[in-house]
Amino acid sequence: SRALAARAVADPAVDALAVCGGDGMISLAVQEQAGSDTPLGIVPAGTGNDLAREYGIPLGDPEAAVDVVLAGRVERSDLGRATTDGGEEHLFASVLCAGFDSAVNRRVNEMRFVRGALRYVVASALTYPGYRAQRFRLTFDGADVVEQEIVLSAYAITRCYGGNMRIAPDADRADGLLDVVYLEDLPKVRGVWHFRKVFAGAHVGVEGVVTRRCRTVRIEAAGVEAYADGDLVAPLPVTLDVLAGQGAFLVP
């Protein structure tokens, strides 16, 4: 739990914090561990396991993952921070999403009849036919404003979300920047084609897919929720920025 993580980080006798679980469980620990000298080790046991995949942690082999916790090196990386208009903060280590992708995330978390990363595929297929693009207002670095109909939007520290979908294939987890990817309103058939390309990261540069980098972005859209690291953050609006070098993970 988050309380256990807080106690571990505050204990000078603790050399490292290990989490056995998925991206959501890791996120709970990151809320307390961020910026500390206590690195975070990962034993992946979740649905998507995107953070473990990003950091090269063995999947499906708990003993090998534990070996990384015991003998791995510490890698510093960036974290994202989402702040609501009420001042509540939520940190994330991989990708925050808003739009179709956050609607899929909600359905994944409610799903019980499918296990593993296949949940994201099934949830996407169930959600997409009835989903409609929403009017977004994005303010990049406090100045550049974009207002348009958007289907999905992702704000990435790392490359993948949704069980190895390479939404931001060029993201650098230690460059101090958010990689932003969003899909403009397109006919359904073309949208499905673009979605298929995401798994290989081949959607970048395709018509209707917009990519850019920024240090901060304010995201506004009525009735849309933001999800990050697999869990609900808050309804929009939220403002994102980067905590450069505030993550610390044990890697092979």
Give residue-wise pLDDT tens across range 18-57: 999 988 899 999 999 999 999 999 999 988 899 999 999 9
Spatial distance between the Cα atoms of 36 and 248, rounded to a whole number of angstroms = 8
Report pLDDT for 106. 84
CB 17 within 8 A of CB 38: yes
Q: How confident is the model at residue 116 (pLDDT cuts 50, 70, 90)?
A: low
* 199 pLDDT higher than 70: no
Kindly report the average pLDDT of the chain as a whole number.
90
Instruction: Give residue 156's identity as a one-letter amino acid code.
Output: A
* 97 pLDDT higher than 90: yes
Q: How confident is the model at residue 68 (pLDDT cuts 50, 70, 90)?
A: very high
**Residue appearing with tokens 């460059």:** 175
The crossing angle, in degrees rounded to 10, of helices 100-110 and 118-127 is 120
Q: 163's torsion region: left (phi>0), alpha (psi -120 to 50) or beta? A: left
Spatial distance between the Cα atoms of 39 and 208, rounded to a whole number of angstroms = 39
CA distances, 77 to each of 74, 94, 193, 243 (Å): 10, 11, 33, 9
Does an H or E element contain 198, and which?
helix 188-198
CB 90 within 8 A of CB 233: yes
The crossing angle, in degrees rounded to 10, of helices 23-33 and 2-10 is 40
Q: How confident is the model at residue 191 (pLDDT cuts 50, 70, 90)?
A: low
Cis bond leading into 237, ω under 30°? yes
Report pLDDT for 65. 96
Ordered by where they begin, the domains of the chain are 2-78 (3.40.50.10330), 80-244 (2.60.200.40)
Residues 6+ apart with CB under 8 A from 111: 119, 122, 123
Residues 6+ apart with CB under 8 A from 196: none
> Is 170 an active-site residue?
no
The tokens describing 169, both together, are 């294939």
* 138 pLDDT higher than 80: yes
Q: Report which of residues 82 and 196 the model is more confident about.
A: 82
Q: How confident is the model at residue 194 (pLDDT cuts 50, 70, 90)?
A: low
Report pLDDT for 158. 97
Active-site choice (172, 175, 185, 231): 231
* 227 pLDDT higher than 90: yes
Q: How confident is the model at residue 206 (pLDDT cuts 50, 70, 90)?
A: confident
* 135 pLDDT higher than 60: yes
